[in-house]
Amino acid sequence: MLLAVLTIIPVGQALVELIVRPVTVGQLVDRRVGLETQLVAVDGLALLVSLEADPPPEASDAKLVYHWYTVRDSLQELRLVLVRSVIAPDALRTRSVLARVVEDPAAIERTIAGIEARGGSQPEPEVGPLLLIEERPRNLPVTELASLADVQESQVGQLVRVRLQFADGIATCVGRGDCNARALADGTGSWDNLARDDEGRSVVVRTRYPPSVAPFVGVGHHAQDRETVGRLLALPIVNGLFGWGHVLQAAHVEHDLGLPINHLWLGPILFMAFAALLLIGMRLPYPRFRPYSRSGQPAPARGTIGSVACRASGRITPPNASPFEIEDLRAELRGDPPRGAALRIQIDGRWQPFLIPRNLGGLGGTELGDLLTARSHRPALKVDWFGSNVLFVFADTASRDAANSMVHGAD
Protein backbone atom coordinates (compact mmCIF):
# COMPACT_ATOMS: atom_id res chain seq x y z
CA MET A 1 0.00 0.00 0.00
CA LEU A 2 2.79 2.43 0.87
CA LEU A 3 4.51 1.69 -2.44
CA ALA A 4 1.30 2.45 -4.32
CA VAL A 5 0.91 5.77 -2.49
CA LEU A 6 4.50 6.77 -3.22
CA THR A 7 3.99 5.91 -6.89
CA ILE A 8 1.21 8.48 -7.24
CA ILE A 9 3.56 11.47 -6.93
CA PRO A 10 6.04 10.78 -9.76
CA VAL A 11 3.33 9.26 -11.94
CA GLY A 12 1.20 12.36 -11.49
CA GLN A 13 4.11 14.57 -12.51
CA ALA A 14 4.73 12.41 -15.58
CA LEU A 15 1.08 12.64 -16.58
CA VAL A 16 1.18 16.42 -16.28
CA GLU A 17 4.22 16.38 -18.57
CA LEU A 18 2.34 14.26 -21.08
CA ILE A 19 -0.89 16.26 -21.21
CA VAL A 20 -1.23 17.67 -24.72
CA ARG A 21 -3.64 20.58 -24.83
CA PRO A 22 -5.45 21.32 -28.11
CA VAL A 23 -5.19 25.06 -28.80
CA THR A 24 -5.98 27.51 -31.57
CA VAL A 25 -3.43 29.66 -33.33
CA GLY A 26 -5.05 32.77 -31.88
CA GLN A 27 -4.69 31.48 -28.32
CA LEU A 28 -0.97 30.87 -28.80
CA VAL A 29 -0.25 34.17 -30.54
CA ASP A 30 -2.15 36.16 -27.92
CA ARG A 31 -0.36 34.26 -25.11
CA ARG A 32 -3.69 33.17 -23.65
CA VAL A 33 -2.61 29.58 -23.06
CA GLY A 34 0.32 27.55 -21.93
CA LEU A 35 3.71 27.86 -20.43
CA GLU A 36 6.97 27.32 -22.24
CA THR A 37 7.11 23.72 -21.01
CA GLN A 38 3.49 22.88 -21.85
CA LEU A 39 2.70 20.50 -24.68
CA VAL A 40 0.19 21.84 -27.19
CA ALA A 41 -1.49 20.57 -30.35
CA VAL A 42 -2.09 23.16 -33.07
CA ASP A 43 -4.59 22.06 -35.72
CA GLY A 44 -4.71 24.32 -38.78
CA LEU A 45 -3.61 24.91 -42.35
CA ALA A 46 0.13 24.90 -43.15
CA LEU A 47 1.60 26.65 -46.15
CA LEU A 48 3.40 24.09 -48.34
CA VAL A 49 6.49 26.21 -48.90
CA SER A 50 9.91 24.82 -48.02
CA LEU A 51 11.40 27.17 -45.42
CA GLU A 52 14.46 25.39 -44.07
CA ALA A 53 15.20 25.89 -40.39
CA ASP A 54 18.26 25.48 -38.22
CA PRO A 55 18.01 22.55 -35.79
CA PRO A 56 16.80 23.50 -32.31
CA PRO A 57 19.57 23.92 -29.73
CA GLU A 58 18.71 20.64 -27.97
CA ALA A 59 18.60 18.58 -31.19
CA SER A 60 20.67 15.42 -30.72
CA ASP A 61 20.74 14.31 -34.38
CA ALA A 62 22.22 16.94 -36.71
CA LYS A 63 21.47 14.78 -39.78
CA LEU A 64 17.75 15.62 -39.62
CA VAL A 65 16.54 18.42 -41.91
CA TYR A 66 14.19 20.86 -40.20
CA HIS A 67 11.52 23.00 -41.86
CA TRP A 68 9.47 25.98 -40.76
CA TYR A 69 5.72 25.77 -41.28
CA THR A 70 3.40 28.74 -41.01
CA VAL A 71 0.11 27.44 -39.59
CA ARG A 72 -3.18 29.36 -39.46
CA ASP A 73 -6.61 28.52 -38.09
CA SER A 74 -8.11 29.59 -41.42
CA LEU A 75 -7.05 31.29 -44.63
CA GLN A 76 -8.58 34.56 -43.42
CA GLU A 77 -6.56 34.57 -40.16
CA LEU A 78 -3.61 37.01 -40.07
CA ARG A 79 -2.14 35.47 -36.94
CA LEU A 80 0.04 32.43 -37.48
CA VAL A 81 2.11 29.92 -35.57
CA LEU A 82 5.59 28.93 -36.65
CA VAL A 83 6.17 25.22 -36.24
CA ARG A 84 9.66 23.77 -36.61
CA SER A 85 9.36 20.16 -37.79
CA VAL A 86 11.31 17.43 -39.54
CA ILE A 87 8.30 16.61 -41.75
CA ALA A 88 9.00 17.45 -45.41
CA PRO A 89 6.39 19.49 -47.33
CA ASP A 90 5.85 16.66 -49.83
CA ALA A 91 4.88 14.34 -46.98
CA LEU A 92 1.92 16.60 -46.14
CA ARG A 93 0.48 16.03 -49.61
CA THR A 94 -0.23 12.41 -48.67
CA ARG A 95 -2.96 12.15 -46.09
CA SER A 96 -6.23 10.44 -45.19
CA VAL A 97 -9.29 12.24 -46.51
CA LEU A 98 -12.76 12.12 -44.97
CA ALA A 99 -15.15 12.95 -47.83
CA ARG A 100 -18.68 12.62 -49.16
CA VAL A 101 -19.16 10.68 -52.40
CA VAL A 102 -20.93 12.81 -55.03
CA GLU A 103 -21.72 12.05 -58.68
CA ASP A 104 -20.80 15.12 -60.77
CA PRO A 105 -19.11 14.23 -64.10
CA ALA A 106 -19.39 17.82 -65.36
CA ALA A 107 -17.36 19.20 -62.44
CA ILE A 108 -14.70 16.53 -62.99
CA GLU A 109 -14.41 17.41 -66.69
CA ARG A 110 -14.10 21.13 -65.87
CA THR A 111 -11.37 20.41 -63.31
CA ILE A 112 -9.30 18.29 -65.71
CA ALA A 113 -9.67 20.85 -68.51
CA GLY A 114 -8.74 23.72 -66.21
CA ILE A 115 -5.63 21.96 -64.93
CA GLU A 116 -4.51 21.10 -68.49
CA ALA A 117 -5.06 24.72 -69.58
CA ARG A 118 -2.64 25.83 -66.85
CA GLY A 119 0.10 23.38 -67.80
CA GLY A 120 -1.04 20.33 -65.89
CA SER A 121 -1.02 16.84 -67.36
CA GLN A 122 -3.89 14.52 -68.22
CA PRO A 123 -4.20 11.94 -65.41
CA GLU A 124 -3.73 8.29 -66.32
CA PRO A 125 -5.83 6.23 -66.09
CA GLU A 126 -8.95 8.31 -66.60
CA VAL A 127 -10.64 9.82 -63.58
CA GLY A 128 -13.85 8.12 -62.52
CA PRO A 129 -17.24 9.90 -62.51
CA LEU A 130 -17.47 10.20 -58.71
CA LEU A 131 -16.35 13.37 -56.92
CA LEU A 132 -15.13 13.42 -53.30
CA ILE A 133 -16.08 16.48 -51.25
CA GLU A 134 -13.97 16.72 -48.09
CA GLU A 135 -15.87 17.23 -44.85
CA ARG A 136 -15.01 17.89 -41.24
CA PRO A 137 -15.22 14.82 -38.97
CA ARG A 138 -18.62 14.39 -37.37
CA ASN A 139 -20.38 11.72 -35.37
CA LEU A 140 -21.52 9.90 -38.50
CA PRO A 141 -20.71 6.40 -39.78
CA VAL A 142 -17.59 6.36 -41.96
CA THR A 143 -16.56 3.61 -44.37
CA GLU A 144 -12.83 2.88 -44.49
CA LEU A 145 -11.58 2.28 -48.03
CA ALA A 146 -8.31 0.62 -48.99
CA SER A 147 -8.05 2.30 -52.42
CA LEU A 148 -9.95 4.32 -55.02
CA ALA A 149 -11.18 1.08 -56.58
CA ASP A 150 -13.56 0.84 -53.63
CA VAL A 151 -14.77 4.43 -54.16
CA GLN A 152 -16.32 3.53 -57.51
CA GLU A 153 -18.35 0.86 -55.74
CA SER A 154 -19.52 3.23 -52.99
CA GLN A 155 -23.00 4.69 -52.88
CA VAL A 156 -23.59 8.35 -53.69
CA GLY A 157 -23.85 10.33 -50.46
CA GLN A 158 -21.77 7.88 -48.46
CA LEU A 159 -19.08 9.19 -46.10
CA VAL A 160 -15.73 7.48 -46.76
CA ARG A 161 -12.12 7.72 -45.60
CA VAL A 162 -9.28 6.94 -48.02
CA ARG A 163 -5.55 7.73 -48.11
CA LEU A 164 -4.53 9.87 -51.11
CA GLN A 165 -1.61 11.83 -52.52
CA PHE A 166 -2.63 15.31 -53.70
CA ALA A 167 -1.23 16.84 -56.90
CA ASP A 168 -2.54 19.78 -58.99
CA GLY A 169 -5.70 21.75 -58.30
CA ILE A 170 -7.72 24.79 -59.36
CA ALA A 171 -10.48 26.90 -57.84
CA THR A 172 -13.91 25.38 -58.46
CA CYS A 173 -15.16 28.65 -59.89
CA VAL A 174 -12.58 28.54 -62.72
CA GLY A 175 -14.48 25.93 -64.68
CA ARG A 176 -17.74 27.82 -64.25
CA GLY A 177 -16.16 31.17 -65.14
CA ASP A 178 -17.63 33.05 -62.17
CA CYS A 179 -14.53 33.62 -60.02
CA ASN A 180 -14.22 36.66 -57.75
CA ALA A 181 -10.54 37.55 -57.50
CA ARG A 182 -10.89 39.31 -54.17
CA ALA A 183 -12.78 36.39 -52.64
CA LEU A 184 -10.14 33.93 -53.81
CA ALA A 185 -7.37 36.16 -52.47
CA ASP A 186 -9.10 36.14 -49.08
CA GLY A 187 -9.36 32.34 -49.18
CA THR A 188 -13.11 32.23 -49.74
CA GLY A 189 -14.31 29.48 -52.03
CA SER A 190 -13.58 25.86 -52.82
CA TRP A 191 -10.86 24.10 -54.80
CA ASP A 192 -10.90 20.93 -56.90
CA ASN A 193 -7.73 18.82 -56.64
CA LEU A 194 -6.43 15.79 -58.48
CA ALA A 195 -5.35 13.06 -56.08
CA ARG A 196 -4.00 9.53 -56.48
CA ASP A 197 -3.96 6.41 -54.35
CA ASP A 198 -1.03 4.01 -53.93
CA GLU A 199 -2.11 2.05 -57.02
CA GLY A 200 -2.08 5.08 -59.32
CA ARG A 201 -5.85 5.60 -59.66
CA SER A 202 -6.99 9.23 -59.75
CA VAL A 203 -9.96 11.11 -58.32
CA VAL A 204 -11.06 14.73 -57.94
CA VAL A 205 -11.29 15.92 -54.34
CA ARG A 206 -13.01 19.22 -53.47
CA THR A 207 -11.57 21.07 -50.48
CA ARG A 208 -12.19 24.37 -48.70
CA TYR A 209 -8.53 25.34 -49.05
CA PRO A 210 -6.19 25.72 -52.05
CA PRO A 211 -3.50 23.19 -53.08
CA SER A 212 -0.84 25.54 -51.67
CA VAL A 213 -1.78 24.57 -48.10
CA ALA A 214 -2.52 21.32 -46.29
CA PRO A 215 -4.10 20.34 -42.95
CA PHE A 216 -1.39 20.15 -40.31
CA VAL A 217 -1.27 19.16 -36.65
CA GLY A 218 1.83 20.32 -34.83
CA VAL A 219 2.33 18.72 -31.42
CA GLY A 220 5.16 19.93 -29.23
CA HIS A 221 6.38 22.46 -26.68
CA HIS A 222 5.04 25.98 -26.77
CA ALA A 223 8.33 27.87 -27.08
CA GLN A 224 8.96 31.52 -26.20
CA ASP A 225 11.65 32.50 -28.70
CA ARG A 226 10.88 35.97 -30.06
CA GLU A 227 14.31 36.32 -31.63
CA THR A 228 13.80 33.22 -33.80
CA VAL A 229 10.30 34.31 -34.76
CA GLY A 230 11.45 37.82 -35.64
CA ARG A 231 14.30 36.55 -37.83
CA LEU A 232 11.97 34.35 -39.85
CA LEU A 233 9.33 37.04 -40.33
CA ALA A 234 12.02 39.42 -41.60
CA LEU A 235 12.96 37.13 -44.51
CA PRO A 236 11.98 38.58 -47.94
CA ILE A 237 10.29 35.32 -48.96
CA VAL A 238 8.01 35.47 -45.92
CA ASN A 239 7.08 39.09 -46.59
CA GLY A 240 6.39 38.19 -50.21
CA LEU A 241 4.13 35.32 -49.23
CA PHE A 242 2.04 37.13 -46.63
CA GLY A 243 2.08 40.68 -47.93
CA TRP A 244 3.99 43.77 -46.81
CA GLY A 245 0.82 45.43 -45.62
CA HIS A 246 -0.03 42.79 -43.05
CA VAL A 247 1.10 43.18 -39.46
CA LEU A 248 2.32 39.67 -38.76
CA GLN A 249 2.11 38.19 -35.28
CA ALA A 250 3.40 34.73 -34.55
CA ALA A 251 4.07 32.16 -31.86
CA HIS A 252 6.50 29.27 -31.97
CA VAL A 253 5.95 25.51 -31.44
CA GLU A 254 8.63 22.82 -31.52
CA HIS A 255 7.04 19.83 -33.28
CA ASP A 256 8.02 16.55 -31.58
CA LEU A 257 7.22 13.41 -33.60
CA GLY A 258 8.26 11.17 -30.71
CA LEU A 259 5.49 12.23 -28.36
CA PRO A 260 4.41 10.81 -26.07
CA ILE A 261 7.11 8.12 -25.80
CA ASN A 262 10.14 10.42 -25.75
CA HIS A 263 8.78 12.44 -22.83
CA LEU A 264 7.84 9.68 -20.46
CA TRP A 265 9.89 9.87 -17.31
CA LEU A 266 12.18 6.91 -16.81
CA GLY A 267 11.86 7.16 -13.02
CA PRO A 268 8.07 6.69 -12.86
CA ILE A 269 8.28 3.89 -15.40
CA LEU A 270 10.79 1.94 -13.32
CA PHE A 271 8.91 2.76 -10.13
CA MET A 272 5.62 1.53 -11.57
CA ALA A 273 7.30 -1.56 -13.00
CA PHE A 274 8.75 -2.39 -9.58
CA ALA A 275 5.35 -1.86 -7.94
CA ALA A 276 3.68 -4.07 -10.56
CA LEU A 277 6.24 -6.84 -10.06
CA LEU A 278 5.75 -6.64 -6.32
CA LEU A 279 1.98 -6.86 -6.63
CA ILE A 280 2.26 -9.74 -9.09
CA GLY A 281 4.68 -11.50 -6.76
CA MET A 282 2.22 -11.17 -3.92
CA ARG A 283 -0.40 -12.85 -6.08
CA LEU A 284 1.74 -15.78 -7.22
CA PRO A 285 0.55 -19.22 -6.10
CA TYR A 286 3.38 -19.93 -3.67
CA PRO A 287 2.17 -20.24 -0.03
CA ARG A 288 2.19 -17.09 2.07
CA PHE A 289 1.20 -17.06 5.75
CA ARG A 290 -1.00 -14.18 6.87
CA PRO A 291 -1.28 -14.04 10.66
CA TYR A 292 -4.29 -12.69 12.53
CA SER A 293 -3.97 -9.77 14.88
CA ARG A 294 -3.47 -10.70 18.50
CA SER A 295 -6.92 -9.40 19.42
CA GLY A 296 -8.48 -11.55 16.69
CA GLN A 297 -7.02 -14.87 17.88
CA PRO A 298 -9.53 -17.14 19.68
CA ALA A 299 -8.71 -18.47 23.11
CA PRO A 300 -7.92 -22.20 23.32
CA ALA A 301 -11.09 -24.24 23.82
CA ARG A 302 -11.67 -26.59 26.71
CA GLY A 303 -12.95 -30.15 26.52
CA THR A 304 -12.05 -33.55 25.14
CA ILE A 305 -10.15 -33.25 21.88
CA GLY A 306 -9.29 -36.12 19.56
CA SER A 307 -6.82 -36.14 16.68
CA VAL A 308 -6.68 -33.51 13.90
CA ALA A 309 -5.31 -34.15 10.41
CA CYS A 310 -3.29 -31.44 8.67
CA ARG A 311 -0.34 -30.70 6.35
CA ALA A 312 3.00 -29.63 7.85
CA SER A 313 5.89 -27.55 6.46
CA GLY A 314 8.92 -26.03 8.13
CA ARG A 315 11.88 -27.05 10.33
CA ILE A 316 11.94 -29.89 12.88
CA THR A 317 14.63 -30.07 15.56
CA PRO A 318 14.38 -33.40 17.43
CA PRO A 319 16.10 -33.78 20.83
CA ASN A 320 19.77 -34.74 20.48
CA ALA A 321 19.52 -34.71 16.65
CA SER A 322 20.19 -32.40 13.76
CA PRO A 323 17.32 -30.22 12.44
CA PHE A 324 15.78 -31.03 9.08
CA GLU A 325 13.27 -29.40 6.72
CA ILE A 326 9.87 -30.76 5.74
CA GLU A 327 7.60 -29.57 2.91
CA ASP A 328 3.83 -30.13 2.78
CA LEU A 329 3.80 -33.55 4.49
CA ARG A 330 0.82 -35.34 6.00
CA ALA A 331 0.64 -34.80 9.75
CA GLU A 332 -1.60 -35.50 12.70
CA LEU A 333 -1.96 -33.69 16.03
CA ARG A 334 -3.36 -35.42 19.13
CA GLY A 335 -3.93 -33.95 22.56
CA ASP A 336 -1.61 -35.12 25.33
CA PRO A 337 -2.72 -33.02 28.33
CA PRO A 338 0.11 -33.97 30.73
CA ARG A 339 2.84 -32.97 28.29
CA GLY A 340 1.35 -30.87 25.47
CA ALA A 341 0.52 -32.23 22.01
CA ALA A 342 1.63 -35.39 20.24
CA LEU A 343 2.65 -34.77 16.63
CA ARG A 344 3.01 -37.44 13.95
CA ILE A 345 4.47 -36.67 10.52
CA GLN A 346 4.56 -39.09 7.59
CA ILE A 347 8.17 -39.00 6.37
CA ASP A 348 9.21 -41.29 3.51
CA GLY A 349 6.06 -43.33 3.98
CA ARG A 350 6.59 -43.87 7.74
CA TRP A 351 4.92 -42.03 10.62
CA GLN A 352 7.48 -40.32 12.84
CA PRO A 353 6.41 -39.14 16.33
CA PHE A 354 7.35 -35.78 17.88
CA LEU A 355 6.29 -33.92 20.99
CA ILE A 356 5.21 -30.29 21.17
CA PRO A 357 5.72 -29.44 24.85
CA ARG A 358 3.18 -27.22 26.56
CA ASN A 359 5.46 -25.82 29.32
CA LEU A 360 6.59 -22.26 28.64
CA GLY A 361 10.22 -23.30 28.61
CA GLY A 362 9.64 -25.49 25.58
CA LEU A 363 6.73 -23.90 23.68
CA GLY A 364 7.95 -20.75 22.03
CA GLY A 365 4.60 -19.43 20.76
CA THR A 366 1.76 -19.89 18.30
CA GLU A 367 0.21 -17.75 15.58
CA LEU A 368 -3.19 -18.27 14.03
CA GLY A 369 -3.79 -17.18 10.47
CA ASP A 370 -4.34 -18.26 6.87
CA LEU A 371 -2.15 -19.78 4.17
CA LEU A 372 -2.72 -17.65 1.07
CA THR A 373 -2.32 -18.62 -2.57
CA ALA A 374 -3.44 -16.80 -5.70
CA ARG A 375 -6.87 -18.41 -5.66
CA SER A 376 -7.55 -19.70 -2.15
CA HIS A 377 -6.78 -19.43 1.53
CA ARG A 378 -6.82 -22.15 4.18
CA PRO A 379 -6.72 -21.99 7.99
CA ALA A 380 -3.19 -22.32 9.33
CA LEU A 381 -1.32 -22.43 12.65
CA LYS A 382 2.35 -21.59 13.12
CA VAL A 383 4.06 -23.21 16.14
CA ASP A 384 7.59 -22.72 17.59
CA TRP A 385 9.22 -25.06 20.10
CA PHE A 386 12.80 -26.07 20.98
CA GLY A 387 14.27 -24.70 17.72
CA SER A 388 11.45 -26.11 15.60
CA ASN A 389 9.23 -23.90 13.48
CA VAL A 390 6.34 -25.62 11.70
CA LEU A 391 3.35 -24.30 9.78
CA PHE A 392 0.27 -26.52 10.02
CA VAL A 393 -2.46 -26.14 7.37
CA PHE A 394 -5.98 -27.45 8.03
CA ALA A 395 -9.09 -28.25 6.06
CA ASP A 396 -11.33 -25.97 8.14
CA THR A 397 -11.26 -23.41 10.92
CA ALA A 398 -12.63 -25.82 13.55
CA SER A 399 -9.72 -28.21 13.02
CA ARG A 400 -7.22 -25.38 13.35
CA ASP A 401 -8.79 -24.10 16.56
CA ALA A 402 -8.82 -27.63 17.96
CA ALA A 403 -5.11 -27.99 17.14
CA ASN A 404 -4.42 -24.68 18.85
CA SER A 405 -6.12 -26.01 21.99
CA MET A 406 -4.03 -29.20 21.83
CA VAL A 407 -0.80 -27.24 21.58
CA HIS A 408 -1.73 -25.11 24.57
CA GLY A 409 -2.59 -28.26 26.56
CA ALA A 410 -6.32 -27.71 27.03
CA ASP A 411 -8.19 -30.72 28.36
Read off the pLDDT of residues 231-287 as tens digits, 9 standing for 90 and up. Answer: 777 777 776 776 544 444 556 676 666 554 444 455 566 667 777 776 666 666 567
Paired sense of beta strands 202-207 and 324-336, if any: unpaired
- pLDDT category at 360 given cuts 50, 70, 90 is low
**pLDDT at residue 285, rounded to an integer:** 55
| pLDDT, the chain, mean | 79
- Give pLDDT, residue 160: 92
- Share above pLDDT 90 across residues of the chain, in percent, rounded to a whole number: 22
Please report the pLDDT score of residue 346 as a whole number.
93
CA 323 to CA 316: how far, in whole Å? 5
* Encoded amino acid at 165, one letter: Q
* pLDDT at residue 10, as a whole number: 55
Q: Are the C-beta atoms of residues 148 and 204 closer than 8 Å to each other?
A: no
The Cα–Cα gap between 168 and 113 comes to 12
Distance from CA of residue 208 to its chain's centroid?
Answer: 34
- Neighbour tally for 134: CB within 10 Å: 17
How far CA 399 is from CA of 70, 99, 298, 368, in Å, comes to: 80, 74, 13, 12
Task: Please tell me the distance from the alpha carbon of residue 257 to that of residue 289, in angstroms, as a whole number.
Answer: 50
Averaged pLDDT for residues 54-62: 70
Dist. CA 200–CA 22, nearest whole Å: 35
Contact indicator for 88, 67 with CB cutoff of 8 Å: yes
What is the mean predicted confidence (pLDDT) over 132-147? 86
Please state, in angstroms and rounded to a whole number, the distance separating the CA atoms of residues 395 and 406: 17
pLDDT of 217 above 50: yes
Report pLDDT digits (tens) over 295-353. Answer: 555 555 555 567 899 999 999 988 888 889 999 999 999 887 677 788 999 999 899 99
pLDDT score recorded for residue 311: 94
Nearest to 389 by CA among 360, 406, 366: 366
At 126, is the pLDDT very low, low, confident or very high (cuts 50, 70, 90)? confident
What is the per-residue pLDDT for 53? 81
pLDDT at 276: 73
**Residues of the chain with pLDDT > 70: what percent?**
75
pLDDT for residue 244: 44
The reply to whether omega before 56 is within 30° of 0 (cis) is: no
Taking residues 381-392, report their average pLDDT. 90
pLDDT number for residue 319: 82
pLDDT: is 378 or 29 the higher one?
A: 378
Q: Where would I find the H helices in 196-351?
A: 226-233, 236-242, 266-283
**Complete edge-to-edge strand list for the sheet that includes strand 388-393:** 288-291, 363-372, 377-385, 388-393, 307-316, 324-336, 340-347, 350-357
- Per-residue pLDDT at 264: 47
Please state the rounded mean pLDDT for residues 167-196. Answer: 87
Give me the residue spans of the domains in the chain: 2-84+215-263, 92-212, 288-407
pLDDT for the residue numbered 245: 40
Determine the CATH number of domain 288-407: 2.30.29
Q: Looking at the predicted structure, is the pLDDT value of residue 359 above 90?
A: no
Residue 78: which pLDDT band, with cuts at 50, 70 and 90? confident
User: Across 1-10, 11-20, 283-292, which has the greatest mean pLDDT?
Assistant: 283-292
Q: How confident is the model at residue 293 (pLDDT cuts 50, 70, 90)?
A: confident
CB-CB neighbours of 107 under 10 Å: 18
Distance CA 144, CA 266 (A): 38
Residue 95 clears pLDDT 80, i.e. is over it: yes
Q: Which of 72-86, 97-111, 182-196, 316-330 has the lowest mean pLDDT?
A: 72-86
pLDDT computed for residue 176 by the predictor: 84
For the whole model, what pTM was predicted? 0.55
Q: What is the mean pLDDT of residues 28-41?
A: 68
